[in-house]
Chain A
């Protein structure tokens, strides 16, 4: 029945109704035919019984006397009557089964064995018009004055009964076909009409490119029936889904700003730290303007400090700007990320392990924006999880045809709720950020996969990203 499953409900149910009507019609026809067969069987049995009883009365004394001629004459005269048309052959035998006479003596000669004629004959009560043969064979005892004095074998022509049965069957088939056809069509249309709201609902749910749309008011059934309530409930759900999506979008946006806030904080440290040195350098220059060596060293210091500030500023700007760009990933992006988390690393006195394979990074032509976002979010989480004097690491290399980013950190493992956001598609639990869910969606959009492990107090999150064209192919 697998072939039946894909058929729409709006077709399936009317078809089932039509099939039920065909079934009912067939069963009803079968009952009619069975009744007709029973009537015919009763009729033929009654006729045969009258035939046998009549012959028994007429032939009893003649059979007792073995009066061949009188037996034949009686059979011959009986054959001339109306019953003769039904009885195509009748043979009468004595008690030993030796034929005394038959209505067709050439076929059943005198003194022949009646068993040769009655090979497939049945008793009176078992006589049935079974449709296999237009001629029935009957073998009955010839009873006279309470004792069996011989046997009567008859062949009954039931061709007319079979014809009657065939005509009845034909009539039933034709009439039932017409009636069932009309009823099935009416049933089909009625059920289809009744299921129209369901069809509309299904279309609204499936043909909206992943974004459900409410059912137009004009297509909602009148009244307060189940289908009308269903349509209204659906419309309410569509509104709720849209509101939820909007809330999630806003939450994601906010998460980005939260991350930026944390970055800004780091950035302030990053800027503030060299500022003291820079200001000292300017004081030194003011104090010793005539000491060229001191001025040169102070100027170099200022230059390095300003360049550092410039790099930090550029990286921050890039982080916020690149998201929508389609530039491909380069090793410099990882340098930026390293720069961005440097303040967090320094603040928490973390041990940073950094390993980026430049060939692998450029080999896969993956877009820079999403990868930077993924790496930054995971690293910031790793820094937070590692705690003071912990260890954080990033490895970017090629493995099994993918660009593999592996972010590790020491410390306790990721809580269950965080894992759900990173690895699952279920609804977001109350509280907590959406940064990890953002990582998951970004990785999925790139056609990638995320895995997680926690061994020996080291949490390891691995993101595998295919080439950009493989990702496109996978998304199609």
Chain B
């Protein structure tokens, strides 16, 4: 597989070079990425950048930060033109942000949050994890924080009191590592990331066990500022995302991301997250 990716990456690099020649006059499009997906794989990131650059006809700079908050902040202050956020920060700033596109995973623009423990752990539900340690992904992550926090709230519990200690690893893969290595007893992780890891790092996920899955919720969307949604670069991005499946380079990028494609969506897709956010209100 690595060999295949490398070959295709080379092809993609060549195409990108051609496109770059054509797009040299265009300003660089800055695209923010949260650690929502496999951001540790340089080949995946590079493939996505080349595919989008080809599709948009302009050079793309992928901007990565450690936390969701940083990327959201960059988007709000216009330091990036668009960003792949999570449904939770999108809804937090729904007045300023709008949806550009939503990934389609396994035929649907939805995903789940997984509650995982080590394979040797006998816990069967969130209740069994009381008093243990817990790994969250990011305080602004839906699957990596909000879901478990709202589940606890619905049980009449607080994160701080229910777990003896909880940490943020700022990466879904890190949550899986923390639980697999025994650093934390349990973790809240993006179900899409866990499933993707099971394909590319089965040795890692094999040391964890999913004990609870949330309801299906809106997949982390690509957002832009509402006031720039109609701008050419953002429209070009939207077009490029929708058309990824039409080019070999795009399909390669989608395969690397284990996604089916992108499509447009309405805010109603994130109602489930909105419900949970309401439950979190004091």
Contacts and interface: CB of A to CB of B under 8 A. Distances in A.
Nearest to B169: A69
Interface residues of B, number: 15
Contacts of B133: 109-111
Given A69-B169, A73-B174, A106 B182 contact: yes
A68 B164 contact: no
A405 B70 CA distance: 133
A69 B182 contact: no
Interface in A104-124: 104-106, 109-111
A105 B182 contact: yes
Contacts of B198: none
Given A101-B183, A105-B183, A69 B164 contact: no
A69 B165 contact: no
A110 B184 CA distance: 8
Interface string A93-106: 00000000100111
Nearest to B136: A69
B113 to A, nearest CB: 19
A73 B178 CA distance: 9
A69 B170 contact: yes
Contacts of B165: 68, 110-111
A188 interface: no
A72 B164 contact: no
B172 to A, nearest CB: 12
Contacts of B245: none
Nearest to B120: A106
A378 B78 CA distance: 146
Contacts of B169: 69, 73
A76 interface: yes
A337 B259 CA distance: 147
Interface in B127-178: 133, 135, 164-165, 167-170, 174, 177-178
Nearest to A68: B167
B181 interface: yes
A73 B133 CA distance: 17
Nearest to A106: B182
A106 B207 CA distance: 13
A69 B181 contact: no
Contact of B181 (A68, A105, A111): A105
Contacts of B135: 69
A137 B59 CA distance: 54
Nearest to B118: A106
B146 to A, nearest CB: 19
B182 A72 contact: no
B51 to A, nearest CB: 30
Contacts of B174: 69, 73
Contacts of B167: 68-69
A149 to B, nearest CB: 18
Contacts of A72: 178, 181, 183
Given A110-B165, A111-B165, A76 B181 contact: yes
A73 B183 CA distance: 10
B112 to A, nearest CB: 23
Contacts of A106: 181-182
Nearest to A101: B183
Contacts of B168: 69
A69 B174 CA distance: 8
A357 to B, nearest CB: 114
B203 to A, nearest CB: 15
A105 B182 CA distance: 5
Interface string B168-201: 1110001001100111100000000000000000
A109 B164 CA distance: 12
Contacts of A105: 181-184
Contacts of B184: 105, 110
Contacts of B164: 111
A119 B169 CA distance: 31
Nearest to B184: A110
B33 to A, nearest CB: 19
A110 B132 CA distance: 11
A105 B185 CA distance: 10
Contacts of A73: 169, 174
Contacts of A68: 165, 167, 183
A101 B135 CA distance: 13
Specify which of B167, B168, B181 lies most central, judged by the most chain A CB atoms within 10 Å of its CB.
B167
A76 B169 CA distance: 14
A106 B169 CA distance: 18
A294 to B, nearest CB: 155
A72 B183 CA distance: 8
18 contacts: A68-B167, A68-B183, A69-B135, A69-B167, A69-B168, A69-B170, A69-B174, A73-B169, A76-B181, A101-B183, A105-B181, A105-B182, A105-B183, A106-B181, A106-B182, A111-B133, A111-B164, A111-B165
Please list the 7 inter-chain residue pairs (A to B) with the smallest Cβ-Cβ separation, ordered nearest first. A106-B182, A105-B183, A69-B169, A105-B182, A68-B167, A69-B167, A72-B183
Given A72-B183, A109-B182, 16 more contacts: A68-B165, A68-B167, A69-B135, A69-B167, A69-B170, A72-B178, A72-B181, A76-B181, A101-B183, A105-B181, A105-B182, A105-B184, A106-B182, A109-B133, A110-B165, A110-B184
